[in-house]
Structure 1
């Protein structure tokens, strides 16, 4: 009897986590929570009877078995992507495909998308929260927005805005960062501990989220003070959903990077619009 293969989703989670060396960043890319990515990788390790990652307090590193498996999995996913592209003909091929981290799609693109569609009514857009192939070689997406460090996101990707973290809270919430519950995005290199080192001493965080977008949402609902990427908050501040809880900011190792198909006119128009939005 032929042995069955592990589910494709397990390999997909492993490949993304191996590129980013972070379950959180992998989840941002493929549209899963940090815990879901971790569970799928653990399931693959159990199935293969190997350890693929060494887990550290902040991040991951590949074991010898992980390094051995990664090229084969990446190649297989790339082949599958090319195979499916063959069938995307006709009207489907005319779509502008934007693959974005969920946080950027929710907090940056969605509040302003009507402006883009009004300016370019002829452009149809398909949004993806999953990017399969590695190193920005995907033919499935004309525009890609990825989260990670400069090393993690691959080649031909430009930083959207400086990597800075700021503290935010709901406008009606009374208190400051020393008295209110602190919300932290886990799986990133920088957090409230860095704030304590660089700005002022603060208590341990009480609430944890697996992305900056989720941390920001928790803050808008009055659950405490979130330390999030500055890129995400512009519209939330303008709409009165959030305000800065402290004037300071700290640098972050990870950020949001943009890569576009320079041969695609619609992708270049989207890039111009997005950069103008963030200027």
Structure 2
């Protein structure tokens, strides 16, 4: 990347090409006419080609300038789009939420439709994460994280207790007459939740089965799709399982739920500055959503 020209020089080149002069380009960029002229000279020196024909009345692009302009303009446009897409408009009504991928897809996204109808003035950005990071993302207004609440440097507000419950396709549920029947059916394991099945069998007073594992996946979302396709029984958090059961894609056999050592938390940095009203409004909605 050492041959890449100075970004300021490229911005000046694009602006001069579009506006037809150093003075107009300087006014748009917040620079003096002399500074823009220096940028263009520096760019031409680095490239070894003249980009403009300078006359007493106007500037005209040379053949080299005409060939170079589309690539420069495209690169600047793509950079602007990527910046806005990743970091968004930080206006008073914009709120960025970061949540585990399963909760983002299965809990927050479906409820977001009605919330946005009620609050059209808010610009909500929903980002998902597979694995929780130690530090909070500085570009995130609200972070929901699943765990035990012992993260350093943050205030973790629990969003209510969680349970672990089995879910499966309705056709497979017909084979589950009693908890012991779980030992004879394929079971879906989720990486990061390796303790769920052993803890669940212990709570039921059943021995640990050594066979009939269906598959191992790295997200609850993948486990949901596998279970919905009839691939086995998965253990999911109760807040997710309840919403899935309501859609009819999966069912929860009438077996007891096991209290989970993990729950959802709303995170804020310690000693953080007061949050803007739009963020507080969304936080209140999320508290109600996860408490439902």
Same fold (TM over 0.5): yes
- What is the 5 A alignment of 1:117-128? 117-128=116-127
SS in 2 for 1:157: strand
1:102-143 deviation digits (Å, cap 9, x = unpaired): 010111011211111011111111122259996554331111
- What is the 5 A alignment of 1:1-279? 94-130=93-129, 137-152=136-151, 155-173=154-172, 174-176=174-176, 177-188=182-193, 190-199=195-204, 200-201=206-207, 203=209, 205-259=213-267, 263-278=275-290, 279=292
Distance 1:189 1:235 in 2: 23
Contact preservation (8 Å) 1:149, 1:253 = yes
**Gap change, CA 1:107 and 1:154, over 3 Å in 2:** farther
Distance 2:240 2:248 in 1: 14
TM-score under structure 2 length normalisation: 0.58
Distance 2:167 2:132 in 1: 34
Contact preservation (8 Å) 1:164, 1:230 = yes
Question: Is 222-231 or 156-165 further displaced after alignment?
Answer: 156-165
What 5-or-longer segments of structure 2 have no aligned partner? 1-82, 177-181
Larger Rg: 2
What 5-or-longer segments of structure 1 have no aligned partner? 1-83
What is the deviation of 1:94? 4.6
TM-score under structure 1 length normalisation: 0.61
**Gap change, CA 1:206 and 1:130, over 3 Å in 2:** closer
What is the deviation of 1:167? 0.6
Over the aligned positions, Cα root-mean-square deviation in angstroms equals: 3.1
